[in-house]
Amino acid sequence: MNKSMKISITAILVTLAVFTPTYAETPEELIALHSEQLAALNSHDIDTMMSYFADDCIYFLVSQPPPVPKPYVRAAFASRFEARPDFRITEGRTLAAGNIVVEEALTLFTEPDSGVEVVIPHLSIYEYEGDKIKKVTTYNDRFPGMIATGMIPAPEMPNLVPSVTVPDPEPTGLSAMEADAELVVRWQNRDPSLVAKMCGADYSTFAGPLGMQLDRVEMTALNEMYYKAFPDIQLETVRRIDLGDGWVLVELISEGTHNGEFMGIPASGYLCGIRVVWLTRYDSNGLAVEQSFYYDNLSLVNQMTTAPYVLDGIWVTTVPTPMGNLVMTTIYAAQDASKTQYSGTLVEVNPMPLLADIYPDAEGSIGKWAGGHAVMVGRDRYEGTFLGYAMKTIKTEMGEMVDFVGLFMVKAYFEIIGPNYLYGSGAGYYYMAEQDTDRDGFPDEGQEPVAVIPWGWTSKRLTQMPEPPQ
């Protein structure tokens, strides 16, 4: 690869890539910034509040995906401030490390129609680049507001008495990060006694979905309830963050088949998968002494009572780029009766010269996607591989023909987050035509891509649409 090629590829990566964090602030400075931003929020000063967010920030409210950009964040908070004049967030536990600030607090407001005060516990993860917020991930539960306003009845609380004798704590001698990984492993073994042994004598947890503080005996009973309802339940670690002083945050995907009664809901046999966050403090013996966890009850109830979505159909995809939205269509067709394997056919609607620096000879209008293959990896979650070509017209003795000047593969991870809506992320791997020496349409084994570019996208399934106005 020549020098000019390397420079141009770097420019593309800087423009499109997911940011690489820079730790320009100390934890104390980040906490101070967070406090200033929270003060602006609580005073409903939307301009000052939004000045703390980077222009390309995203906000991921886990209970209501997908992640949204800054204009949507501003509009959402402005609407809340107008509709609920006392909307506020309490000063709660705040921890910081690296470029991360973790806020565990309460959202409070009065519903204007009923006059009822709603209290919603939440945990938010703020990711900074310098002094600007690049991403917020918030875990909360939609049930408290629905219960407070009478939309749904309060669930009958379980009798949290374990069927097993709760053993005494057994020190692990592990560091906080090691202990947290061990706790996840023990939880996945589905033996409540093993988990209880890692909980100190004075262990206490705040169960966000129940809105209750539990001791180690009650937590053992709650774990039993999960294991009985989802006998094959497993945890997939998304990321783990060392927040110092024994505090560890871990984001998880919890997945299992609803084969037993849970909170009064009879077994459905449906696979359920929800996003969960644990915040745990470990002592010098490697025992958990303080913990809280959050997930959205409404998401779980919906999954226990409805079948998973299917991927089949025609999807219209938008990919945000510096040149505007790239639009393409994808047709997914199941390849097996259980609908776990899919083929996909992709067509770009508005080809863009996004890769001109990588493939300067390519003609964007004749680029071609070979298609893709997607595999279900969880409840409404898929992993896919897609293959495409950058092409040009060449002259030969036999006349003009089309040949490819480059190949690109996209590794995609996406989730159907509504009946006709999905959100995806992944990376494109770009190769030159000469990296396919046998001309079979695939990069030769062992070839390294000349560029790797992250991508994110949303898709809507094509369904019956209303008749246009006359």
CATH 3.10.129.10 fits 21-148, yes or no: no
Phi, psi angle pair for 332, to nearest 5°: -105, 135
Return the closest-CA partner of residue 83 out of 10, 145, 159, 138: 145
**Residue 258 near residue 230, CB atoms below 8 Å:** yes
Q: Does this chain's domain 21-148 share its CATH topology with 176-305?
A: yes
pLDDT in tens, the chain (470 residues): 333 333 233 333 333 333 344 444 689 999 999 999 999 999 999 999 999 999 999 999 999 988 999 999 999 999 999 999 999 999 899 999 999 999 999 999 998 888 899 999 999 999 999 999 999 999 999 998 888 888 888 877 778 999 989 999 999 999 999 999 999 999 999 999 999 999 999 999 999 999 999 999 999 999 999 999 999 999 999 999 999 999 999 999 999 999 999 988 999 999 999 999 999 999 999 999 999 999 999 999 999 999 999 999 999 999 998 889 999 999 999 999 999 999 999 999 988 888 888 999 888 778 889 999 999 999 999 999 999 999 898 877 777 788 899 999 999 999 999 999 999 999 999 999 999 999 999 999 999 999 999 989 999 999 998 988 88
H or E stretch covering 213: strand 212-215
| C-beta separation of 261 from 231 below 8 A | no
Largest CA distance in the chain: 85
Q: Where are the domains of the chain?
A: 21-148, 176-305, 313-461
d(CA 293, CA 297): 12
Rounded distance, CA 256 to CA 139, Å?
20
- CATH architecture of the domain 313-461 equals Beta Barrel (2.40)
> Within a 10 A sphere around the Cβ of 10, how many other Cβ atoms?
13
The CB-side HSE value for 141 (13 A sphere, CA atoms) comes to 24
pLDDT of residue 155: 78
* Token pair in block for residue 247: 């505090």
Residue 457 contacts residue 348 (beta carbons within 8 Å): no
> Which residue in the block uniquely carries the two structure tokens 């730790």?
23
Name the token pair of 88.
């506020």
Handedness of CA 357, 360, 366, 372 (dihedral sign): negative
Q: For the structural domain made of 176-305, what CATH number should be given?
A: 3.10.450.50
Residues in the chain: 470
SS3 259: coil
What is the residue-wise DSSP string for 279-333?
EEEE-TTS-EEEEEEE--HHHHHHHHHSPPP---EEEEEEEEETTEEEEEEEEEE
Does this model's pTM top 0.85? My answer is yes
